[in-house]
């Protein structure tokens, strides 16, 4: 990670936290709560100014934000001050607490909207259906809208991805589609396989648009690989790699017989002889969606995508606790978030692509942050909302002893999750 990338990552993460605290602050000001301090960042105070009885501070470490309400803690003198936090009406306290996560959710929706109108968005409407796909075999056609997958409603393409990402490719997929005429059909995509000869490599394009071998599979050339990572492909049986379709056809036509592959290795052009390996490939499902960029549908899609993220988050948490997926594949902390943002900033790619990815990450993390803060876990906002509900039912607040016990248990859980996230972040940075 580069220094600039880390700084940008910290600032973007801080913007999300500032938005959250602004929700609390602005609602509190509007409803007449006494506010002692609003701070940007954390650590020692660099700059501070007081206005209308509120202290505004900028602190040293460029991450986070906070707002402190008068009477927010039990050791504050609350009896004489009707504008102190716990002396305000329950509905007002609930609004102050709830608007923090709400602003995170709305900022995520806004980021999605900007991204959609600027770069386009996919709709769960089928584009061209490949003839040799599972979708074609099942009878799906271009223009049909997928409305359910395995019985679950699909309102965005993320809903579809959230269902199939955890589904093995060799299992049937039940889809419900709505035709252009308004009819609803239930279809089953059945897995199928086809034989194909391949070199047993993964490739990429370098900055000069050359085809570079990234990795070589162990079973390449019958288990005796002759190609190496970083080799540059030039031709197969004198068919140039510039025409990838023709190059692949030449490999396929060899049918496992001798195949001459011309490469550039360590700056020297050479030809190696090998045999293509027979693979049994799973036929592609063939689900490809149309792209839109109209402003009207983008508004609805921005809200629906945000809701889709919440559903995927809930499902991922459930699968993590059930053991279906590993926690290290799901859980990430601030270090991981900053690392992902830094990678986007420092990667060599067009500026438009960086902006697109940063908008996507901002929207994703903002929605997730808003939703997670509504969970009834101390010291998150959701726990405070639950305590207000209990206070309303009982007619009085829980005792300080009970609240402290709940807080200790919740903080212990948050600390454990934070440490786990940090550990997984470090392992990912270490390549493990």
pLDDT at 429: 46
Average pLDDT for residues 145-159, to the nearest whole number?
94
pTM comes to: 0.77
pLDDT at 408: 67
Average pLDDT for residues 157-180, to the nearest whole number?
89
Average pLDDT for residues 4-9, to the nearest whole number?
75
Strands (E) across 200-340 are located at 201-205, 211-216, 232-236, 239-240, 258-265, 268-275, 277-282, 289-292
| 339, pLDDT greater than 70 | no
Which of 104, 90, 160, 96 minimizes the C-alpha distance to 393?
A: 90
Decide if 198 contacts 184 (C-beta within 8 A).
Answer: no
| 423, pLDDT greater than 90 | no
pLDDT tens-place string over residues 280-295: 889 999 999 999 888 8
| 321, pLDDT greater than 70 | no
* Rounded CA separation 384/396 (Å): 14
Between the CA of residue 13 and those of 10, 17, 337, what are the distances in Å? Answer: 5, 7, 8
Grade residue 417 by pLDDT with cuts at 50, 70 and 90.
low
| 421, pLDDT greater than 60 | no
Same-domain status, 152 and 220: no
Indicate the residue among 292, 320, 343 that finishes a domain.
292
Q: Determine which helix (DSSP H) or strand (DSSP E) holds 341, and give its type and residue range.
A: helix 334-346
Q: Determine which helix (DSSP H) or strand (DSSP E) holds 306, and give its type and residue range.
A: helix 295-322
Same-domain status, 404 and 376: yes
Grade residue 6 by pLDDT with cuts at 50, 70 and 90.
confident
Exposed e or buried b per residue across 162-185, where buried means at least 16 C-beta atoms within 10 angstroms of its C-beta:
bbbeeeeeeeebebbbbeeeeeee
| 432, pLDDT greater than 60 | no
| 206, pLDDT greater than 70 | yes
Average pLDDT for residues 31-37, to the nearest whole number?
94
Average pLDDT for residues 327-334, to the nearest whole number?
55
Question: In terms of DSSP H, where are the helices of 31-121?
Answer: 90-119
* Rounded CA separation 298/321 (Å): 34
Helix axes 90-119, 295-322, angle to 10 degrees: 110
Write down the mean pLDDT value for the chain: 86
Same-domain status, 82 and 102: yes
In a domain, 304, yes or no: no
pLDDT at 37: 94
**316's tokens:** 């991922």
- Give the CA-trace dihedral at 334, 340, 345, 348, to 10 degrees: 160
Q: What is the DSSP letter of 132?
A: T
The shares of helix, strand and coil residues in the chain, as percent rounded to the nearest 5, are: 45, 25, 30
pLDDT at 31: 95
pLDDT at 80: 67
Indicate the residue among 278, 304, 328 that finishes a domain.
278
Same-domain status, 263 and 133: no
Number of domains in the chain: 3
| 425, pLDDT greater than 60 | no
Same-domain status, 17 and 107: yes
| 211, pLDDT greater than 60 | yes
pLDDT at 332: 56
Same-domain status, 263 and 401: no
pLDDT at 2: 61
Residues 168, 172, 174, 178: is their CA dihedral positive or negative? positive
Residues 288, 180, 160, 366: is their CA dihedral positive or negative? positive
* Rounded CA separation 148/178 (Å): 10
Please list the residues that pair with 262 across neighbouring strands.
235, 271
pLDDT at 11: 84
Query: 103: burial class by Cβ within 10 Å (0-12, 13-18, 19+)?
Result: buried
| 92, pLDDT greater than 50 | yes
pLDDT at 296: 87
**114's tokens:** 């900007």
pLDDT tens-place string over residues 66-91: 999 998 875 455 556 888 998 899 99
Same-domain status, 200 and 168: no
Which is more confidently placed, 342 or 270? Answer: 270
Grade residue 340 by pLDDT with cuts at 50, 70 and 90.
low
Same-domain status, 243 and 167: no
Indicate the residue among 251, 278, 305 that finishes a domain.
278
Grade residue 1 by pLDDT with cuts at 50, 70 and 90.
low
pLDDT tens-place string over residues 343-385: 777 777 788 888 898 899 899 889 989 998 998 887 789 988 9
Contacts of 221 (CB under 8 A, 6+ apart): 200, 227, 274, 275, 277
Same-domain status, 13 and 46: yes
The CATH number of residue 272's host domain is 2.30.42.10
Residue 287 belongs to domain spanning = 121-192+283-292
In a domain, 69, yes or no: yes
Which is more confidently placed, 406 or 123? Answer: 123
Backbone phi and psi for residue 356, each to the nearest 5 degrees, phi listed first = -60, -50
pLDDT at 47: 92
Same-domain status, 155 and 287: yes
pLDDT at 402: 74
Same-domain status, 97 and 246: no
In a domain, 163, yes or no: yes
């Amino acid at each position: 990670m580069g220094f600039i990338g880390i700084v940008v990552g910290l600032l973007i993460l801080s913007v999300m936290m500032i938005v959250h605290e602004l929700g609390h602050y602005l609602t509190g000001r509007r409803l007449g709560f006494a506010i002692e301090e609003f701070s940007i960042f954390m650590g020692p105070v660099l700059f501070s100014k007081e206005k209308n009885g509120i202290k505004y501070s900028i602190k040293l470490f460029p991450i986070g934000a906070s707002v402190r309400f008068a009477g927010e803690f039990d050791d504050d003198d609350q009896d004489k001050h009707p504008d102190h936090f716990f002396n305000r009406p329950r509905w007002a306290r609930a609004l102050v607490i709830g608007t923090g996560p709400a602003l995170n959710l709305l900022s995520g929706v806004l980021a999605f909207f900007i991204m959609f109108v600027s770069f386009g968005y996919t709709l769960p409407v089928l584009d061209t259906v490949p003839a040799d796909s599972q979708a074609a075999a099942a009878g799906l056609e271009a223009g049909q809208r997928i409305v359910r997958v395995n019985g679950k409603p699909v309102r965005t393409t993320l809903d579809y991805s959230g269902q199939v990402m955890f589904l093995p490719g060799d299992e049937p997929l039940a889809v419900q589609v709505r035709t252009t005429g308004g009819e609803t059909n239930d279809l089953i995509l059945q897995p199928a396989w086809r034989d194909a000869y391949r070199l047993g490599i993964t490739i990429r394009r370098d900055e000069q648009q050359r085809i570079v071998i990234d990795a070589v599979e162990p079973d390449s050339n019958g288990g005796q690989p002759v190609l190496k990572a970083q080799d540059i492909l030039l031709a197969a049986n004198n068919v140039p790699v510039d025409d990838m379709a023709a190059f692949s056809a030449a490999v396929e036509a060899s049918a496992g017989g001798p195949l001459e592959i011309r490469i550039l290795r360590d700056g020297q052009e050479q030809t190696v002889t090998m045999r293509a390996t027979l693979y049994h490939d799973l036929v592609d499902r063939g689900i490809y969606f149309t792209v839109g960029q109209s402003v009207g549908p983008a508004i609805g899609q921005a809200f629906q995508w945000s809701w889709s993220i919440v559903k995927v988050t809930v499902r991922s948490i459930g699968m993590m606790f059930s053991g279906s997926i590993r926690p290290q594949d799901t859980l990430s902390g601030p270090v991981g978030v900053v690392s992902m943002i830094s990678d986007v900033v420092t990667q060599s790619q067009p500026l438009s692509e960086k902006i697109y990815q940063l908008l996507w990450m901002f929207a994703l993390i903002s929605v997730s942050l808003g939703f997670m803060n509504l969970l009834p876990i101390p010291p998150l906002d959701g726990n405070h909302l639950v305590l207000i509900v209990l206070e309303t039912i009982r007619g009085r607040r829980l005792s300080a002893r009970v609240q402290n016990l709940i807080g200790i248990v919740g903080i212990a859980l948050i600390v454990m999750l934070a440490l786990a996230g940090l550990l997984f972040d470090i392992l990912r940075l270490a390549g493990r």
